[in-house]
C-alpha cells in the first residue's frame, strides 16, 4: 500500500459483520495490539475451562465487572472462557442483571469469533459448540 509517497506493507483485517476493514502497518502490528489467532491447544484449554465449575467471588459487582472486562480485553481465550463460565446461567438459576448479561454476551461473542476463525466455521456454529461445552459441565 502506498501512502503519502511511501510504500508500506500492511496487514489487512476485515470485519464482515461491521463492514469494516482495518489496515495495520506490519511494523506497528504488536504495538497496536494485533496478535495471531490462539493455538488449537489454547482453545482446547478454553473449552475445558467452560466445563469447570463457576467461581464467583464474593466481591462487589462493580469490582468483578472490571475484572471480567480486563479478562475479555486481554484476548486470552482461557481468561475469556472463565468469564463465560462464571456468568453463564442455566435454566432454573436466577436471572442476570443487565450489566451481567452484557458482559456475558461480549465474552461469548469474542470467544465464538476466535473459535470460528480457528475452526474455519461461522460464529453461530462456534457459539453452539461453546454452549454444548457449557452444558457438559
Which residues face 14 on adjacent strands? 21
53 class by beta-carbon count within 10 Å (0-12 exposed, 13-18 middle, 19+ buried): exposed
Whether pLDDT at 63 is above 90: yes
* CA dist., res. 12 & res. 23, Å (int): 5
Q: Higher model confidence: residue 55 or residue 112?
A: 112
What CA–CA distance (Å, rounded) separates 40 from 106?
22
Taking 90 as the threshold, does the pLDDT of residue 37 lie above it?
no
Cα–chain center distance at 32: 18
SS3 state of residue 23: strand
Confidence at 137, pLDDT banded by 50, 70, 90? low
13 Cβ neighbours under 8 A, 6+ residues apart? 21, 22, 23, 24, 34
Answer with the residue of higher pLDDT: 7 or 67: 67
pLDDT score of 39? 86
Q: What is the pLDDT of residue 93?
A: 65
Mean of the per-residue pLDDT values of the chain: 87
Residue 45: which residues within 8 A CB-CB, separation 6 or more?
Answer: 77, 78
Predicted confidence (pLDDT) at residue 16 exceeds the cutoff of 80: no
Amino acid at each position: 500500500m502506498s501512502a503519502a509517497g511511501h510504500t508500506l506493507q500492511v496487514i489487512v483485517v476485515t470485519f464482515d459483520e461491521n463492514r469494516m476493514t482495518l489496515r495495520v502497518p506490519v511494523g506497528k502490528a504488536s504495538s497496536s495490539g494485533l496478535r495471531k489467532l490462539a493455538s488449537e491447544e489454547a482453545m482446547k484449554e478454553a473449552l475445558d475451562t467452560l466445563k469447570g465449575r463457576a467461581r464467583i467471588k464474593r466481591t462487589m459487582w462493580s469490582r468483578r465487572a472490571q475484572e471480567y472486562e480486563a479478562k475479555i480485553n486481554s484476548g486470552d481465550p482461557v481468561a475469556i472462557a472463565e468469564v463465560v463460565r462464571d456468568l453463564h446461567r442455566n435454566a432454573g438459576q436466577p436471572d442476570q442483571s443487565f450489566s451481567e448479561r452484557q458482559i456475558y454476551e461480549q465474552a461469548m461473542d469474542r470467544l465464538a469469533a476466535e473459535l470460528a476463525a480457528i475452526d474455519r466455521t461461522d460464529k453461530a456454529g462456534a457459539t453452539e459448540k461453546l454452549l454444548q461445552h457449557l452444558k457438559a459441565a
